Every structure is written in C-alpha cells, then in structure tokens.
Amino acid sequence: MKSMPHEFAIGGVYFPPLLIAGIFAVIAALLTARLLDRVRLSKHFFYPPLVLLSLMIVYTVFIGTFIIKT
C-alpha cells in the first residue's frame, strides 16, 4: 500500500513535509557546493548559481521521495 504524506508535529505545531524536505535540501545543496568549491570542481560549471538551484530541487525531490516520503 502506498504510504500517505504525513505532517511533522514539532511542539504541537504541524509542518508540511515538503517544507522539511526543502530545509534539508537547502542544507545538503550548500554542503555540496562548499565541497565542490574546496576541490575546485565548481570551475567546470558554466553558471554555479543555477547549479545550486538545481541541486536544491534535486535534493528536495530525492529527500521528499525516498526519506521523508511526502
């Protein structure tokens, strides 16, 4: 049976799962960007700000689908 999206209750306040996935995605994307900067791999990208945005979306979908299951 397909699992239902469920909200997160923090201190009695309900948070939508997409928001939580989004927050983790932003953190993961920033960490990835920092890592790529450190090993000088970011020089191969044409436009890093767009890559960062794409990473955020990819991570949101990934975390939302496989970890939080929105």
Partner 1 sequence: MVLTRKTKESLKTALAMTIAYGIALHMDWDKPYWAGFAVAMVSLATIGQSMNKAALRMLGTFLAILVAFVLIALFAQQRWLFILFLSVWLGFCTYMMGGAKNQYVWHVSGFVCTIVAIDAGPDAVNAFTIATLRAQETALGILVYSLVSIFLWPTSSGAQLGVAVAKLASTQHRLFALYLDLLHGKTDAGEAQPHRADEVAARSRFDLLLAAAVTDDAEVGELRRQWRRYQRLATELSETLERWRECFGEVQALDLRGLLPDFAACGAELDTRLAQVERMLTDQAPERRPVAVELRLDRSRLGSLSHFQKAALTVARTHLERLESLTRDLYDCVSGIKGFEQVAIPAATRRAPAATFVLDRDRAAGVVRQMVTVWLAWLALIYIDGLPSGTAIVMMTAPIGMALATMPQVRVAQLFVPATVGVLVGAVPYIFVMPQLSSFVGLGLLIFGVTFALCYLFAAPQQMLGRALGLALFITIAGIDNDQTYSFLSVANTALMFALLFLLLSMTAHIPVSSRPEKAFVRLIGRFFRSCEYLTANMGRDSQQPESRLDVRRRAFHRHEISTLPGKLAAWGKFIDPKALPGTSPEQIQALVAALQALARCMQELLGQRDRPQAQVLVEALSADIRAWRLEVKEGLRQLSQEPAAGLREAFRSRLAEIMDHLEKRIMETLDKTPTGQFGERDGENFYRLLGAYRSVSEALVDCAGNAGAIDWTRWQEERFA
**Smaller CB distance to partner 1: residue 12 or 66?**
12
CB of 44 to partner 1, least distance (A): 8
CB of 19 to partner 1, least distance (A): 8
Distance (Å, whole) CA 51 – CA 29: 9
Site residues (vs partner 1, CB under 8 A): 13, 33-34, 36-37, 40, 42-49, 51-53
Q: What are the Cα distances from residue 9, in Å, to 6, 13, 16, 41?
A: 9, 5, 9, 39
CB of 69 to partner 1, least distance (A): 22
